Amino acid sequence: MYPKDFYYTKDHEWIQVKGDTGVVGVTDFAQSHLGDIVYIELPKIGTKVKYRQILGTIESVKAVADIYSPVSGEVVEVNEELSNTPELINQDPHGKGWIAKIKIADDSELQNLMTASEYEKFIEGQK
């Protein structure tokens, strides 16, 4: 269910590393618990973020949730499609529902994250 080439946080974000850049989004577990997503506040391109710093927020019919950066770095791209169609996060959280791309400042921070199998065990305890 969870892509094996992604890393995961305990806050339910994922990152897929491509070279020195990470594509960031929220997991299927997160979107299913949030319910229908109606708005997303995207970070600004050029924003410098630190590991576990707030990257943006997601608003659903149930709640508002913070999105935390899984790594330190600089936002180099955001998924502008989410401004008009935030429900892409519900429909394809590990694909078209990506949120931002971050140029990774310190790839050793990836060691703080979970593999897909570790994340699946982690969420088993949260159901």
> Range of 79's domain?
6-124
Q: What is the mean pLDDT of residues 90-101?
A: 98
**CA angle centred on 1, ends 92 and 71, rounded to 5°:** 70
Q: What is the pLDDT at residue 93?
A: 97
- Does residue 85 form part of some domain? yes
Of 3, 82, 65, 6, which is closest to residue 30 (Cα–Cα)? 65
Q: What is the mean pLDDT of residues 2-9?
A: 97
Domain CATH number, residue 57: 2.40.50.100
Tally the domains of the chain: 1
Tens digit of pLDDT for each residue in 51-84?
Answer: 999 999 999 999 999 999 999 999 999 999 999 9
Residue 62 corresponds to which amino acid?
K
- Does residue 1 form part of some domain? no
The H or E element spanning position 33 is helix 28-34
Tens digit of pLDDT for each residue in 25-52?
Answer: 999 999 999 999 999 999 999 999 999 9
